[in-house]
Structure formats: C-alpha cells, structure tokens
Amino acid sequence: MKISEIASKVNVSAKTIRYYEEVGLLEPPLRKDNGYRLYHQKNVETLIFIRRCRELNIAISDIKLLIDVQQDPKASCASVDKIIADQLARIQQSQRELALLEQSLATLAVSCKNHHVEDCCILHQLKSL
C-alpha cells in the first residue's frame, strides 16, 4: 500500500511516517519503480505501536528501544518495565507540578476585587517576588 493509504489506515500523517523512517523507528519501505513507497502489514502494526506509544507521551528514543527489544521474544522484559515505570514517574511528577500550578492560578483568580488595572491585585502579585 502507498503512504497515503497506510497513513489513513493507522491515523498518522504521511509526514509523520516519513519522520519515523528518518529517525529509524520504521524501516524504510521498498520502493516501486516510480519511487512510491510500498508498505506492508508489518509496517501497519509497527505504526500502530508507535502511535500508541506517542499517545502515552513516550519519547522517541524509548520507542526505539521498545521496538528493538521485540527482536528477541525470549529476552527479559526488564527494560520494557523500566521504560514504562520511568514514564509513569514523569507523568506523576507532571501531575504534581500541574496541581501546584492550578492552585496558584486559582488563588490568583479570586485575589482581585478591584475593577481597574492600576489596583489589580493579580498584576501586582505577578510583579512581586
């Protein structure tokens, strides 16, 4: 199938597919005599895998490792566990940071009872240390 067909099938843009080839996540496909890329079912599966990993905000370098480790089905999945555990820790840290950000914004949102910029408590607080 052509790049437009696989892109539609896996819900990823053709530009993204070319990028994945460029960074080594997806093996370069065979090309027809006219230069068109020719993709197969294995490419569909790999692209779905990559898309799902990206939806989980897993880094490209980690996705590469997750793809590579699949070459040996009998290998330990300790590296897979570590990648997922590390990603979970990053997400949990982001959630803590977002909760603090939300709290700060909520406090600012209710801090100003004035109706003029010159007396705006929000602006004054944002200017202070």
| Secondary structure of 52-76 in HEC code, one letter for each residue | HHHHCCCCHHHHHHHHHHCCCCCCC
As its CATH architecture, domain 1-73 has Orthogonal Bundle (1.10)
Beta bridge partners of 30: 38
Domain assignments of the chain as residue spans, ordered by start: 1-73, 76-129
Convert the pLDDT of each residue in 87-107 to its tens digit.
999 999 999 999 999 999 998
More confident residue, 21 or 37: 21
Give dist(CA 70, CA 63) in Å, integer.
11
Convert the pLDDT of each residue in 51-76 to its tens digit.
999 999 999 999 999 999 999 989 89
Convert the pLDDT of each residue in 30-53 to its tens digit.
888 888 889 999 999 999 999 999
